[in-house]
Structure 1
Amino acid sequence: MRLLAPLALGFALAAPASSPITHETVWLTKRVGAPVLSPDGSRAVVSVTEPAYDPAQQASDLWLLSTGSGAAPRRLTHTKAPESGVAWSPDGRRIAFCSARAGSPQIYVMAPDGSGVTRVSRSGSYNTSPAWSPKGDRLAWTTRAGGSFQIVVANADGSDARTITSQGSNENASWGPDGRYLVFSSRRGGGGRRLYLADRDGKTLKQLTHGPGDDTSPAWSPRL
């Protein structure tokens, strides 16, 4: 609650005082997404959605918050396109995110002050869920290809992009601490979701889970 206090206070001050609660008040109230902390914990990025009755007028932008200094929230993006899926680089100097500003969800990278926005996904009509490698030299994300979802690994600037999966529907890639492997969730052969391990070049693949139910959202423990 403390983390979102500055942003919530800013919105509250902008709202009319003592207004009656109406359908419009509830429907058009700004909505704040879950905060994504920077590596050192001093900052966080949230997605703030400004609803509208006309979907074409709805805006969803990213804001930067300070977790301790009391600095005012800073708006990082200014488009009407949905923007989400934030991932900080390990050194805290870059932010990867997903935006549909070009007409379809794509992966972008920017500085923490909102400058230097660069598109890094260069193919496909649907790219989302960016994840930085431990050294910050590569990005992995999910792309939709041929009706299914696959995992892409590329240099941090989007060059040398390669799809490391080819079967099933694959999502939620998470880098191992040494940057050599990724674990992700995959649905294959009509069964439930299972966790798989692949090297960053897609040359090796190993199924990790086999039990009933779905296995999703894997996360590596840090190197100790």
Structure 2
Amino acid sequence: MIPVWLVAPAAVTVLAWLIALATIQLGTMLPEPAYLSYTAMSGEQHQLILMDVGHGLTHSLTPQLDRVSAPAWSPDGRLIAFEGPFAGGTSIYVMDAFGEGLRTVTAEHAGNQYLPVWFADSSGLYFRNVSNEDMQAFQVQLDGTALAPIYVINFDYLVPHRFDYQRSVVAGFEDGESGIFLVRLGGAPERLVSTDITFRDFPQWSPDDRQIALISWGTMTEVFVMNADGSNFRQVTNDGLFKSNLNWRP
């Protein structure tokens, strides 16, 4: 008879590998959660909110800060940068996708920093700096090093365009009925959904192009999501807070 103590380790190892393989296969079958971020204003509080779209769950990423704006996801989706208050002015903050590791990358430099824009490889940021009525553009690594001014004719050239010229989503009126339409470059409007809802900013396509998100405009500013073909149009927030800066996590 083979001793049990010789068989058991091998059996346990095989079982562990089978469990790991099943976990990997199951993970590849499950879709990645889709996340939206936006800013919400309540009184003097401007918070950065993260939403799990599939489950409708939200939480504030910035409860320790009272006023944030201009959030920008890193291209790899791991980090988010934004403007926040610091020492009576404004600084550029960075944290991970779920609110951990909050830090400022420009705290040691005088002036007010605005509008963070990521490097294409997510290793650093461009930003505007206003000091003594002088506005300049800078670049910096995420650890605050390698700060250097840059020359650009127009800083807006660095900002990723939120409007897709190839396929625009617009509110309109056709055949006696209001709605939201998809207009492809050179094509006729395609009705996605019939609704009286209009929206602020540009509707945002999800990274996989399967969903469209927008913030309504008018008596309420709530987040709505629909499938790319207009189906499953639904309201996913209902808190009455003023919202802006809607973005999908890459």
Deviation of the 1:101 alpha carbon: 4.3
Secondary structure of the corresponding residue to residue 100 of structure 1: strand
The one-character-per-residue Cα deviations of 1:74-112 (angstroms, maximum 9, x if unpaired) are 111114532011010111110001001442110000011
Instruction: Specify the alignment match of 2:110 in structure 1.
Output: 124
Task: Let me know the Cα RMSD of the aligned residues.
Answer: 2.4
Instruction: Specify the alignment match of 1:108 in structure 2.
Output: 93
Deviation of the 1:172 alpha carbon: 2.9
Instruction: Specify the alignment match of 1:89 in structure 2.
Output: 74
Q: Distance in 1 between matches of 2:125 and 2:79?
A: 12
Change (3 A) 1:160 1:41: farther
Q: Distance in 2 between matches of 1:117 and 1:130?
A: 15
Instruction: Specify the alignment match of 1:161 in structure 2.
Output: 147
Instruction: Indicate if the aligned counterparts of 2:126 and 2:138 stay in contact, CA closer than 8 A.
Output: yes
Change (3 A) 1:66 1:96: same
Change (3 A) 1:102 1:47: farther
Return the index of the structure with the highest Cα Rg.
Answer: 2
Change (3 A) 1:75 1:162: same
Instruction: Indicate if the aligned counterparts of 1:83 and 1:97 stay in contact, CA closer than 8 A.
Output: yes
Count how many residue pairs are aligned between Structure 1 and Structure 2. 128
1:42 partner letter: A
Instruction: Indicate if the aligned counterparts of 2:65 and 2:84 stay in contact, CA closer than 8 A.
Output: no
Structure 1 residue runs of 5 or longer lacking an equivalent are 1-39, 52-57, 177-224
Q: Distance in 2 between matches of 1:61 and 1:93?
A: 19
Larger RCO: Structure 1 or Structure 2 (Cα < 8 Å, ≥ 6 residues apart)?
A: 2
Instruction: Specify the alignment match of 1:66 in structure 2.
Output: 52
Deviation of the 1:147 alpha carbon: 1.0
2:132 partner letter: G
Instruction: Specify the alignment match of 1:152 in structure 2.
Output: 138
Structure 2 residue runs of 5 or longer lacking an equivalent are 1-31, 161-250
Instruction: Specify the alignment match of 1:46 in structure 2.
Output: 38
Percent of pairs with identical residues: 25
Structure with the larger strand share? 2
Instruction: Indicate if the aligned counterparts of 1:44 and 1:64 stay in contact, CA closer than 8 A.
Output: yes
Deviation of the 1:173 alpha carbon: 5.2
Deviation of the 1:41 alpha carbon: 9.2
